[in-house]
Amino acid sequence: MSTDRLSATFAALADPTRRAILARLALGETSVTELAAPFDISLPAISKHLKVLEHAGLIRRGRAAQWRPCRLEAAPLKEANGWLEEYRGFWEESFDRLDAYLRQVQSRAKKRARKK
């Protein structure tokens, strides 16, 4: 797998557990044990996910000896969002086209109703 930063970010986001971890951390920093609690997977599995997130720069872990709290780091998300924003024109355009089509269908239906 490629290791450029944007690729690492998207790869880290390509897993529902990792996205759920980020959603939890959006509520505030927490310990790994607390983080693992709602998930039905082992602590080593959670640790592996945290390593992927940390490698992508999406989380940072505290240095406190006993309690190493995880914190969300938003900079890579901003970068990924910036990449996606370049394509905004495309999805807005396709919704405009759908909107125009639906209005056309509606107007035809009204005309037909008037004829009856």
Task: Give the interface with its own copies as residue ranges (CB under 8 A).
Answer: 1-2, 4, 6-11, 13-16, 19, 22-23, 26, 72, 74-75, 77-78, 80-81, 83-88, 90-91, 93-94
Least spacing, CB of residue 41 vs its own copies, in Å: 13
* Residues whose CB falls within 8 Å of the CB of residue 79, separated by 6 or more in sequence, listed in order: 5, 6, 9
Pair 57, 13: CB distance under 8 Å: no
Least spacing, CB of residue 15 vs its own copies, in Å: 6
Chain mean position to CA 22: 8
**Nearer to its own copies among residue 79 and residue 110 (C-beta):** 79
**Nearer to its own copies among residue 36 and residue 59 (C-beta):** 59
Least spacing, CB of residue 14 vs its own copies, in Å: 4
Least spacing, CB of residue 33 vs its own copies, in Å: 23
* Cα angle 1-60-67, degrees, rounded to a multiple of 5: 130
**Nearer to its own copies among residue 27 and residue 113 (C-beta):** 27
How many CB atoms neighbour CB 53 within 10 A? 27
**Nearer to its own copies among residue 41 and residue 109 (C-beta):** 41
Per DSSP bridges, beta strands 59-61 and 70-72 are: antiparallel
